[in-house]
Structure 1
Amino acid sequence: MPSAGRSRLPSFANIIARRGFQKWAARFPLTRRLVRREGEALFDLLAGFCHSQVLMALVQLEIPQALIEGPATSQSLAAKSGVPEDRMAVLLKAGTALGLLKSKRGGRVALTQRGAALVGVPGLQAMIRHHDVLYRDLADPVAFFRGETDPELAGFWPYVFGGDVDPQVAATYSDLMAQSQLLVADDTLDAVSLKGVRHLMDIGGGTGAFLAEVGARYANLKLTLFDLPAVAPHAEARFAQAGLAARTEIASGSFRTDALPAGPDAISLVRVLYDHSDETVSALLTKVYDALPEGGQLIISEPMSGGARPQRAGDAYFAIYTLAMGTGKARSADEIAQMCRRAGFQTIAQPAVRRPFITGVVVAAKGSS
């Protein structure tokens, strides 16, 4: 403790926060680049909402689709979109500043590589369009974090609360999930080998997008999809189209209330746990452990928190998203591993993934009793 009569030295953060220090650091040769870089980063946070709305407008007006065939003028894009030319010019310049578009000769604009990815990345535009719900939920961020709002997003994903789900709602949810599932499946299957697995069951597998990708990579693997009665039947057409009907089985049920089908020696939970509370997740992991044979494998793949080292995707996006859903949360790989151990799993690994902002992976094995 400081001695009586001696004031405590100011913290480094307090020094940086002083206006005089900021003025000095912005001029001093050894610090001015750092000050500029930090200032630009803060401005990006300030302007982030405008940036996201520019992205939303480009997608909703289908500008990327219009430009995928080649460059176009702002006048032609304005006419197609029903947007006044002067306002379209502002939108296109904003898209250029964000690295989605680039200027060409003759007053035309074209897609950059990043802009082309808006068209090429499966499910990306669907998720961007869906964000209008999240934006409304965050309109009053202070009330949101105080828990004083009634988030609209919770109504979009009613399945997480259990009970019956309207078939149309289930179809909307399943379609959105399926469109974005391909990237998750690619990164998961690149990180985890299923060699030696005889029978894989995917719990909460929706329309079967993940299992279809598994089936394409592993020709002799038996596949079972387990999901709610209103969701699972939509997988039949996908499996038939992929030529997997002969080795796939669809089991309808709720992992909350129903027993899991017997037989699989591997079970996958892809983007399932982060939708649910710790209590629900713990009960599910125990069910999975009991359903697996000795040596059976559990594969968990979903967006994850950085834990003690917070990450932008897991902690500044998915954690907020699940908070708006009203249940679930983004957990770190270590948290998930610990929950698996409490369920009885003994051997747990955290394989590296190519794109942690898309998904993280935890693999757990059931040991001998």
Structure 2
Amino acid sequence: MTEKPSWKVRWIARRNAVFASSRFQYWAARIPFIRSVARTRATQMFDHLVGFSYSQVLRAAVESGLLDLLAKGPVSASVVAGEIDLSEEAALRLLRATRALDLAEEAGPDGWMLGQQGAVLQADPGTQAMIRHHRLLYADLADPIDLLRRDRKEPTALSRYWSYAGALHGAAERGAETQEYSQLMAASQRFVADEVIGAFRFPGHASLLDVGGGHGEFIRRVGAAYPQMRLGLFDLPEVAEAAREPLAQSVGADRLTCHPGNFFENPIPEGYDIVSLVRILHDHDDEPAMALLRNIRGSLRPGGRLLLAEPMAAIPGAEAMGDAFFGLYLWAMGSGRPRTPDEISTMMREAGFSRTRVVPTAQPVIASCIVAHA
């Protein structure tokens, strides 16, 4: 005997049949209130359909130097064409495309200047580094089904980049690749740090250890907001050593300790009130992620806390960022996955933490926070 579908299955099937009906679509487009909803959904679908084109307009504006040129504006289309090596017709096409995304604005007969979004982007080299970096993801996603069918350990453009960047993580030299890497890491850590500082109140005289903190942008910003805190950074030896002097100059050598080590192989340094894990857990598959959580739990005294901050799956209002972006990004990278707050909390309790709580952030599309108590 076939089991009867649940009420939810029946409701979804009925709803989808109605929405797919051309008669319903015709009717919905002509009823005032329903028309507004239908138009919004149509716009959302169109954005899904052509989103790649939008991202490529962003890339063109950044990589061509157009934003920097417009910052000195107004400039004419002919000047733009000469400066970025395009025909005047092609330059005008690009300018109009950037205008549609509020990156550029036509200032009458005087020429073109930055739009509102363009002014924000032009002043933010970190976000520009992220836009340049995404060319690797787009290359891997050229055939998404092929990507999903491939063995995750098979090299991709993204996995090659992270393997190479990781090898140069703490390199003293700063070529184009390492400069992009540094900007990329600083931007992602800065965005998350601002969300965490706005959502979580650190005890003023507590001590904080950032595990896998790279060049230290997270503790740099937390340290500026809480000048009495003692700060620690734990990362690979070459990374910790490269971060030591710039961080000491920023937050003060007397309140900073840089600990060299591998968080999968070495014990996490003890004696800190709070351990932070910023955009780290989602980079790793479940088994190594659990090992890392257990390692952190072993370092904390009773009353100590783990503060985890990263983009998560199934967050209301940020669902697309969690699963549609990071889901495929981490698949292409060959390691990790976005997890829901419930999944992370369960893992934390299995690692030995007594209780967990979600800390709401203003922009969950950037990061969500969970605090676990030892």
- The aligned runs of 1:1-369 (5 Å cut-off) are 11-27=14-30, 31-106=34-109, 108-121=111-124, 123-147=126-150, 150-158=155-163, 168=171, 173-195=181-203, 197-306=205-314, 311-366=319-374
TM-aligned CA deviation for residue 273 of structure 1: 0.5
Give aligned pairs, total.
360
AA of the residue aligned to 2:163: P
Q: Distance in 1 between matches of 2:46 and 2:102?
A: 17
Q: Distance in 2 between matches of 1:89 and 1:331?
A: 43
CA shift in 2, pair 1:230/1:14, >3 Å: same
Q: Distance in 1 between matches of 2:314 and 2:3?
A: 36
Please give the secondary structure, in 2, of the residue aligned with 1:194. Answer: coil
Q: Distance in 1 between matches of 2:33 and 2:120?
A: 38
CA shift in 2, pair 1:282/1:171, >3 Å: farther
CA shift in 2, pair 1:202/1:67, >3 Å: same
CA shift in 2, pair 1:288/1:2, >3 Å: closer
AA of the residue aligned to 1:49: F
Contact 2:77 2:88 in 1 (8 A): yes
- The normalised TM-score by structure 1 is 0.88
Q: Distance in 2 between matches of 1:289 and 1:340?
A: 9
TM-aligned CA deviation for residue 207 of structure 1: 0.5
Q: Aligned Cα RMSD in Å?
A: 2.8
Please give the secondary structure, in 1, of the residue aligned with 2:238. Answer: coil
Q: Can you give the 5+ residue segments of structure 2 that lack an aligned partner in the other structure? A: 5-9, 172-176
Report Cα offsets for 1:163-220 as digits up to 9, x if no partner: x777558776444212332121111112112215532111001001111112212222
Please give the secondary structure, in 1, of the residue aligned with 2:359. Answer: coil
AA of the residue aligned to 1:146: R
AA of the residue aligned to 1:62: G
Q: Distance in 1 between matches of 2:37 and 2:21?
A: 16
Q: Distance in 2 between matches of 1:101 and 1:270?
A: 34
What fraction of aligned residue pairs are identical, expressed as a percent? Answer: 39
AA of the residue aligned to 2:255: R
Q: Can you give the 5+ residue segments of structure 1 that lack an aligned partner in the other structure? A: none
Q: Distance in 1 between matches of 2:248 and 2:69?
A: 33
CA shift in 2, pair 1:179/1:13, >3 Å: closer
Q: Distance in 2 between matches of 1:357 and 1:337?
A: 19
